[in-house]
Structure 1
Amino acid sequence: MISLNTILDILKADHNFREIALNGHYTLTYDQNPSFQKLSYDSREVDKDTLFFAKGASFKKAFLEDAIQKGLAFYISQVDYEVGIPAILVNDIKQAMSLIAMEFYGHPQNQLKLLGITGTKGKTTAAYFAYHILKQSHKPALLSTMNTTLDGIHFTKSKLTTPESLDLFAMMAQAVQNGMTHLIMEVSSQAYLVKRVYGLTFDVGVFLNISPDHIGPIEHPTFEDYFYHKRQLLNHSRYVVANQNMQHANLILEQIKDLPHALYGSHLNNSITNSQAFSCHFTGQLEGDYDLELIGHFNQENALAAGLACLQLGASLTDIYQGIKDTRVPGRMEVLTQSNGAKVFVDYAHNKDSVEKLIEVVKTHQTGKIILILGSTGNKGESRRKDFGELLNHYPDLEVILTTDDPNFEDPRAIAEEIASYIERPVHIEVDRELAIKTALEGTQKVSDAVIIAGKGADAYQIVNGERTPYPGDLAVAKAYLD
């Protein structure tokens, strides 16, 4: 429950209160202090005890009018829609949502150790490493791009990398109620761009890497804007773990120079010194030999980053060793073997940098024919299409099948053709993703051959026309066609 006076105090302290617009015949005297039992930004889920947040560029006055029919008596907004009930007017609805949700749910963030992880790639893998490390001796909750668990037992598919603030603090409160001690979160650039984590401070923030991505009309206008919003995690963390070898590391190092921090990178004492698959050696704070199920130097880096973060959060070296060994991520660097001995690599790689690293890992293990299945998303990350084409020009021996990958409101064939337009050799286009996978597997002959399936991983859906439509997932499809 939260009272109107408390809401006004929060907004005024944040310099975000304009006025209460009293509409129609409604009157509100200074001795009145109504309370709200529920917060919502969905006009379909309101009643007389709800404080409703009218947010979003696509919000319509009709949504409020429908909500009033359900008993809605108050709303908070940047716009006075003049619908006959009071409007608490603010300058920034997203800031208001986050701070009011914190108070409404009893500041659950203060009862959890918070680990925030950002980077262009590797967030989910690093989050899973951290989850398996912390679960050795603690009770961590997890909010990742892939799965969410608030009790360590039940896992649900996530809709957003970082949930909307009302949902985020409700989830935190549930985790506290479930007896969780830590919360591991992937923190996207969008989370800061649209203020889903406004006012939140992380105990540890991890910055894995940065490369151009998520640049487009509905995301970030430029790489500078994308990188700026990624770096906001550093400004809101008490302790930072950062990759000193990443691109633009000088900006990161300058930003965290006065913060407690740990750095990792190949030329540092606490670096990975062995790039052999399934084993590595860390020196420095995490001195020792470690076993991993996930191949690739970049996954060893993800493990190291998670280990350094968890060390700060109370994990022992024994916890870190065992947690790294236990970590498996559905759809991340999954390796299957066909009856002819050829390998199938399934991974979520979905931008130039991650696809390049995936190709390089496979080429260190497989020396024969390599067939790559690749697509690009619709209505976001448009720059990836040119990036993919230019990347594949550096691998002229790679056979390429372009296919569908969350086309949304765009034509998947048109997306594939756009990628192909940047490739300086013929490629095959098969928009039916399942058929593309079947075709690729049938194209292998020898133990040294390989198929790389990039993009969807274990996601059991395709985003088409704004909706998640059923799809078995790359891993499931590949397993079905193994023989």
Structure 2
Amino acid sequence: MMKLETALQILKEDHNFRAIVKDDHYYYQGETWDFRDLSYDSREVSEQTLFFAKGHQFKAEYLETAIQQGLKYYVSEVDYQVSIPVILVNDIKQAMSLVAMAFYDHPERKLKLLAFTGTKGKTTAAYFAFNILKEEAKPAMLSTMNSTLDGATFFKSQLTTPESLDLFAMMAQAVKNGRTHFIMEVSSQAYLVKRVYGLTFDVGVFLNISPDHIGPIEHPTYEDYFYHKRQLLANSRYVILNQQMNHIDFLLESIADKAHTAYGAGSPNSISQSSAFHFQLTGPLAGDYAIQLIGDFNQENALAAALACHRLGASPAAIKAGIAHTKVDGRMEVLSHPSGAKIFIDYAHNGDSLKKLIDTVAHYQTGKIALVLGATGNKGESRRKDFGLLLNDYPNVEVYLTADDPNYEDPEAISQEIASYIHRPVHIIPDRELAIQTILKQSYKPDDAIIIAGKGADAFQIVQGEKIPYPGDPQVVQNYL
């Protein structure tokens, strides 16, 4: 429960309060009123709900429906001139985040907060951190793949970083469940639309940066994408950076006055030797580590998570055990084809991650490579050209183009766009299950490889704005085999 006057004071302190308006009358204070719920869904309100009217598509008719359910106040950037008062603010997302923090009694102050950002690797690094911390502590985790607020029950998140009302409700539940740490993937969108406004992380890790998420409904430019990625550094007490990432000199200069460390080649924390399932570290965590996820990039993600958890108090023994136990569905999963060839299933969904994936597979499998790949609809449009141009560098890779969350676009048209940049014939099979079955039917030898990229273990396809059930790439492969 929270008093309206408390919420108003929070908005005023953030210089985000304009006025309370009803019937063209302006008020600086509201009536004495306690609310017991927060909502941004007009279908989920009562007379004890403080409602936030957000989004460019929001309509006054949504409020009329909510008023019939007893709604007394709403917070908005727009006066929809309905029969109840509006609390007018300059920025609805800032208002949501700060009010939610206070409403849930500041759960962020009762947890150690660890956040990962980067163009790729966030999920894998979060899984490494979760497995490390659970050796000695009680972590919760919000991840693109699976989330848990009690360490035992897992669920699929709708967004990489949830809306602030949901985020702080989840944090409060984690506190109630006795959790000690909270691990998050923080997307650039989270800062662009202020889902984590006002939140300070104990440790923030910046894994890498490459052009992605640039388009009409995402970031207008790479500069904007990079800027919003960097906001994690500004909002973390301690920062961990990949020494090999693009723009590292600029990044190090920007955090010169903040406690930080770097990892990777050229830093004190680096991988000195590695094989498929082991690597050795230098620096404070020096030693030999077992790992189930193959690829240099996965070892780097493990190192980043290790440093972050060590900063939060994890022992070297817990770090070694956590890394050794980590598996991630749909992330470098390796299955065997009846021919003896290896099938690699990975979430790689942009040019940079696809290049690393192909290079890693080619290192272990020296025969031919066949690839199933798609690109998302209505977002990340630049990936299509990136994929096509990249695959010209791998002329011996046989390419099968298919659907990958086509949304409101035609998956065949997306595939044709990718193909237009590839200087050799490719296969286009819009039905993803059929594409995977087709590639598995081909003849292979033991040193060959089949790569299925993009969806990973996602159990849906986004079509016409809806999540349509899909078995997930590993399940499709297993069903066929």
TM-score of the pair, normalised by structure 2: 0.98
- The answer on whether the counterparts of 1:19 and 1:89 sit within 8 Å (CA) in structure 2 is yes
- Counterpart of 2:274 in 1: which secondary structure? coil
Map Cα deviations across residues 67-112 of structure 1 (whole Å, 9 max, x no partner).
1111111000000101011000000000000000000000000000
- Counterpart of 2:271 in 1: which secondary structure? coil
Pair 1:267-2:266 in alignment = yes
Which stretches in structure 2 are left out of the alignment for 5+ residues? none
What residue is the counterpart of 1:280 in the other structure? 279
Q: Find the aligned partners of 1:27 and 1:348 in 2 and give their Cα distance.
A: 52
- The answer on whether the counterparts of 1:444 and 1:450 sit within 8 Å (CA) in structure 2 is no
The 3 A distance-change label for structure 1 pair 416 and 30 is: closer
The total of aligned residue pairs comes to 481
- The answer on whether the counterparts of 1:275 and 1:296 sit within 8 Å (CA) in structure 2 is no
What residue is the counterpart of 2:358 in the other structure? 359
The 3 A distance-change label for structure 1 pair 101 and 275 is: same
What residue is the counterpart of 1:9 in the other structure? 9
- Counterpart of 2:237 in 1: which secondary structure? coil
Which stretches in structure 1 are left out of the alignment for 5+ residues? none
What residue is the counterpart of 2:84 in the other structure? 85
- The answer on whether the counterparts of 1:369 and 1:444 sit within 8 Å (CA) in structure 2 is no
Letter in 2 for 1:6: T
Q: Find the aligned partners of 2:212 and 2:479 in 1 and give their Cα distance.
A: 32
What residue is the counterpart of 1:293 in the other structure? 292
Q: Find the aligned partners of 1:311 and 1:31 in 2 and give their Cα distance.
A: 48
| More deviation, 393-402/246-255 | 246-255
Deviation at 1:267, TM superposition (A): 2.3
What residue is the counterpart of 1:55 in the other structure? 54
What residue is the counterpart of 2:72 in the other structure? 73
Deviation at 1:48, TM superposition (A): 0.6
For residues 290-369 of structure 1, what are the structure 2 equivalents within 5 Å? 290-369=289-368
Q: Find the aligned partners of 1:244 and 1:449 in 2 and give their Cα distance.
A: 34
Q: Find the aligned partners of 1:94 and 1:86 in 2 and give their Cα distance.
A: 19
| More deviation, 238-247/443-452 | 443-452
Q: Find the aligned partners of 2:246 and 2:31 in 1 and give their Cα distance.
A: 56
Q: Find the aligned partners of 1:395 and 1:106 in 2 and give their Cα distance.
A: 54
The 3 A distance-change label for structure 1 pair 192 and 292 is: same
- Counterpart of 2:371 in 1: which secondary structure? strand
Q: Find the aligned partners of 2:330 and 2:375 in 1 and give their Cα distance.
A: 17
For residues 190-209 of structure 1, what are the structure 2 equivalents within 5 Å? 190-209=189-208
TM-score of the pair, normalised by structure 1: 0.98
What residue is the counterpart of 1:130 in the other structure? 129
What residue is the counterpart of 1:22 in the other structure? 22
Deviation at 1:176, TM superposition (A): 0.1
Deviation at 1:242, TM superposition (A): 0.5
List structure 1 runs of 4+ shifted beyond 4 angstroms: 26-31
Deviation at 1:199, TM superposition (A): 0.1
Deviation at 1:28, TM superposition (A): 7.6
Pair 1:165-2:142 in alignment = no
Q: Find the aligned partners of 2:29 and 2:265 in 1 and give their Cα distance.
A: 63
What residue is the counterpart of 1:468 in the other structure? 467
For residues 82-161 of structure 1, what are the structure 2 equivalents within 5 Å? 82-161=81-160
Q: Find the aligned partners of 1:28 and 1:390 in 2 and give their Cα distance.
A: 59
Letter in 1 for 2:417: E
Q: Find the aligned partners of 2:331 and 2:31 in 1 and give their Cα distance.
A: 55
Letter in 1 for 2:74: Y
Letter in 2 for 1:16: N
- The answer on whether the counterparts of 2:19 and 2:28 sit within 8 Å (CA) in structure 1 is no
What residue is the counterpart of 1:373 in the other structure? 372
- The answer on whether the counterparts of 2:37 and 2:50 sit within 8 Å (CA) in structure 1 is yes
Letter in 1 for 2:20: I
Deviation at 1:54, TM superposition (A): 0.3
What residue is the counterpart of 1:249 in the other structure? 248
Letter in 2 for 1:70: Q
Map Cα deviations across residues 126-161 of structure 1 (whole Å, 9 max, x no partner).
000000000000000000111110000100011100
Letter in 2 for 1:336: L
Q: Find the aligned partners of 1:424 and 1:191 in 2 and give their Cα distance.
A: 38
Deviation at 1:29, TM superposition (A): 9.7
Q: Find the aligned partners of 1:433 and 1:132 in 2 and give their Cα distance.
A: 32
Q: Find the aligned partners of 1:89 and 1:28 in 2 and give their Cα distance.
A: 11
Task: Work out the percentage of aligned pairs sharing the same amino acid.
Answer: 68
The 3 A distance-change label for structure 1 pair 9 and 442 is: same
The 3 A distance-change label for structure 1 pair 29 and 474 is: closer
Letter in 1 for 2:21: A
